[in-house]
Copies of this chain bind each other. A is one copy, B any other.
Amino acid sequence: MLTFSLAQLDFTVGDLPGNVTRMAAAARKAAKDGAQIVVFTELALTGYPPGDLLGEPGFLAHVDAALMKLCDASRVTPNLYWAVGVPTRYGRGRALENSLIVVKNGQIVLQYSKRVLSACGMFDERRYFVPGPDVTACLEIEGTRVGFLIGEDAWNGENKDNSLDPLGQLATKNPGLVIVIHASPSHINMRRERHACITAASRRYGFPVVYVNQIGGQDQLVFDGASFAATPSGVVFEAAHFEETVTTLRLQDGAFQGTAPLAPVCAAGLPLMEFYRRQIVLGISDYTRRCGFTRVVVGSSGGLDSALVLALAVEALGPGNVIAITLPSRFSSIGSVGDSVTLCRNLGIKLFEHPIRDLVATHEQGFNSAFGEPLRGLALENVQARVRGTVLMEYSNQFGALLLTTGNKSEISVGYCTLYGDMNGGLGPIGDLYKTEAIALCRHINETAGRELIPEAIINKPPSAELAPGQKDTDSLPPYPVLDTILKTLIEGERLGAEEQDEVEAAWANLTETKEGTALIARIRRMIWKSEFKRRQIAPALYLRPFGSERQFPIAANYEHLSSSIPAFYGGDE
């Protein structure tokens, strides 16, 4: 029988001593639970992803020092193996490898380097690492042969477009257990993908697999943990999502057992809105803390987006650490301030009122004097947003509170937002959430609270930027369900999950049946392209979808010839 612990911890990038301390505490718990091996995650020592820190002069010397500390710490649990992700230079020349080492009682007893490096978007591991050599890594522990892999190494059995097959090679060694360490960011389809890949691997080769994933927020990324154990019959254990846990399991005759009976694994996982909520809450709290802040400030417009960000921030940091400021202009409805007051009372947070009428008037006078004509139209609308953004930054700078920006993905995609205005902030918690999803998340928060935490008046009012008299979002944009159908098709495309795809595809088909619908699609496409320059200067937004459906479009390009053609769903027009 093999007893082992899965440690899904929240490491801080760059805080090598702190990460060692965190692992040592988990190892002591594992040893107390009777484990023979404790498993940490990919690049646990440095935190993941370390990015260009890996190339910073002096950094690798710190890695070496921390690794020695880690070896020292392992002497406290002399019978326990520690499996830890670290960058190593033991390979060819001085090139770095993304490695897993196993340490026991001060000694490194095994080293394996990732062979299938992540290559997408911000995980361009090839920027930093060379693939590990063509070897397999096994260790005999208490009569069980344990094999080790890192992240995509274990995907590879399912994904044969790559000539490497570390999983298949490992299988030839007949391991009794395969341990996979990873730092896999959270998004709505990720859990299913992980379960499918790992279960397929277990089924194909007949061995049980344990998959250990880190948790925590790192800039735009949030890692969800949700480590799990799979056998050929499926996933039999799953750790908590978005929480640090150290779980000890036993493996006997190819079957997993808990120290307590294993709870059945829910096939569906967290409901989508609950998933979004927990991810955003963890993303806010880790980003805020790691940037050296304890408090955040949010402009409260009386609208839905800022209400949602305030509610999520309160969950992340507590009501005492969230400050709201309402900044009414002459175009603000009476309801705006009143709704903010109710909201902040419900959330138990401090609300300041800072009217902007005088500031806008002073700008108008100054403009007229300097340039000889009145400020008007979009320029006047924008100045209101920019004055608000400046006041929010005044508060942020003077009182040391991180400004959260409240834009949602629908607005940002079409550029319905003001650079250096409402786009100001250090983090965009809902920047990857479509407006219709933001509405659903507000309702979900109220439901789980069992009361109107976010006033229904806020949820139900027609969305408005309130930058001109009687202005409504629908003056410039289609209703959000229509807009989101178009945006999801154009932006997410084939990355939509199965259920979402069916719904979006049906709505899209409806739209493309009419001339008005196709004209609208063409207009929205143009708006997306034309607002690329705004997104280039956007605050980091938490990724909720695959890499936030990261786009890399040219700004200074000619898009005119393109906007006339209406793409088929999934771009299948070619």
Contact = CB atoms under 8 A, between A and B. Distances in A.
Interface string A42-67: 00000101111101111111100000
A553 B52 contact: yes
A13 B556 contact: yes
A395 B554 CA distance: 25
Contact of A554 (B49, B126, B568): B49
A120 B128 CA distance: 11
Nearest to A534: B426
Interface in A511-547: 533, 536-540
Contacts of A570: 57
Interface stretch (A150-158, A359-367, A451-459): A359-367
Contacts of A552: 51-52, 122, 127
Interface in A358-381: 358-359, 362-363, 365-367, 369-371, 373, 375-379
A23 interface: no
B556 A17 contact: no
Interface stretch (A136-144, A206-214, A240-248, A385-393): A385-393
B325 A352 contact: no
Contact of A362 (B59, B286, B358, B533): B358
A355 B366 contact: yes
Interface string A200-224: 0000000000000000011100000
Contacts of A193: none
A290 B557 contact: yes
Interface stretch (A31-39, A76-84, A99-107, A559-567): A559-567
A126 to B, nearest CB: 7
B386 A390 contact: yes
Contacts of A490: 57
A87 to B, nearest CB: 12
B537 A51 contact: no
Contacts of A555: 219, 287, 291, 540
B219 A556 contact: yes
Contacts of A219: 554-556
B387 A371 contact: no
Contact of A57 (B126, B557, B571): B571
B540 A539 contact: no
B376 A398 contact: yes
A382 B390 CA distance: 9
B397 A379 contact: yes
Contact of A50 (B290, B365, B376, B554): B554
A539 B16 CA distance: 33
A383 B362 CA distance: 15
A222 to B, nearest CB: 11
A98 interface: no
Contact of A533 (B47, B426, B554): B426
A283 to B, nearest CB: 10
Interface size class of A (residues with CB under 8 A): 35 or more
B378 A557 contact: no
A558 B14 contact: yes
Interface string A425-450: 01000000000000000000000000
Contact of A393 (B376, B386, B426, B551): B386
A391 B360 CA distance: 11
A560 B387 CA distance: 35
Contacts of A567: 56-58
Contact of A574 (B47, B60, B217): B60
A565 B17 CA distance: 15
Nearest to A550: B52
Interface in A283-322: 286-287, 290-291
B363 A382 contact: no
A424 interface: yes
A394 interface: yes
Given A353-B370, A359-B362, A370-B325, A14 B554 contact: yes
A383 B395 CA distance: 11
A103 B134 CA distance: 45
Contact of A287 (B127, B386, B395, B556): B556
A119 interface: yes
A218 B290 contact: no
Given A378-B397, A553-B51, A61 B565 contact: yes
Contacts of A127: 120, 552
A480 interface: no
Interface in A481-497: 490, 493
A354 interface: yes
A390 B363 contact: yes
A52 B369 CA distance: 45
A467 to B, nearest CB: 12
A393 B379 CA distance: 8
A391 B368 CA distance: 11
B398 A393 contact: no
Given A14-B561, A397-B378, A552-B122, A363 B391 contact: yes
Given A61-B565, A537-B539, 6 more contacts: A61-B573, A62-B562, A119-B126, A127-B552, A373-B398, A382-B394
Q: Which 5 A-B pairs have the closest CB atoms?
A: A57-B567, A57-B571, A290-B556, A15-B558, A379-B397
6 contacts: A50-B554, A53-B553, A61-B574, A219-B555, A325-B370, A420-B420
